[in-house]
Amino acid sequence: MSRAGPLLPMSVQIKLSTTLRDCVPGYVPETGLFIDLAEGEATLTAGELAQRIGLPLEEIKIVMINSRQNDLASPVRNGDRVAYFPAVGGG
């Protein structure tokens, strides 16, 4: 289940960049999304989290968890802030 906020101890904040925002109708850049993890769902991967909100994995090129580079296989925990970027190469 996703919602507009705030970040609770049992939730994950998701921020989307540029074209990935098109995949989530109503995405609000200021707040991002908040996903509440189910009880007992201690961790899931960044890829599983992305799929849960409908992001096409092949378009995700950069994964940042708590502002550090990770990848789609990296575990996400409650309270984490996860940012997904497509390739950004315009000049």
Partner 1 sequence: MNGSAEQSPAPAGDFLKKTPDGPVISADGIRRLALIRKCREREVMTELLRQDIWPERFSRCRGTLSAQSLVRLLSIKVLVAGCGGLGGYVAEFLARTGVGALTLCDPDSFEESNLNRQRFCTERTLGMAKAEACRNGILDIASYMDVTVHIEALDEKNLPVLLSGVDVVMDCLDSLARKKMLETAAAHAGVPCVQGSVARNEGLVFFDGSRRLPFSIIYPDEETGNLEGASMHTHAVTAAGTAALMVSLLLRRLCHDKNDDGRLFHLDLSVPELETLCFSAGD
Q: Strand, coil or helix: what is 72? A: coil
Indicate the residue among 37 and 63 with the shorter CB distance to partner 1: 63
Identify whether 56 is preceded by a cis peptide bond (ω within 30 of 0).
no
Nearer to partner 1, 11 or 70 (CB): 70
Q: Which residues in the 24-83 window bind partner 1 by CB under 8 A?
A: 29-30, 61-62, 64, 67-70, 83
Q: Rounded CA gap, 73 and 67, in Å?
A: 16
Contact pick of 5, 19, 42, 43 for partner 1 (by CB under 8 A): 19
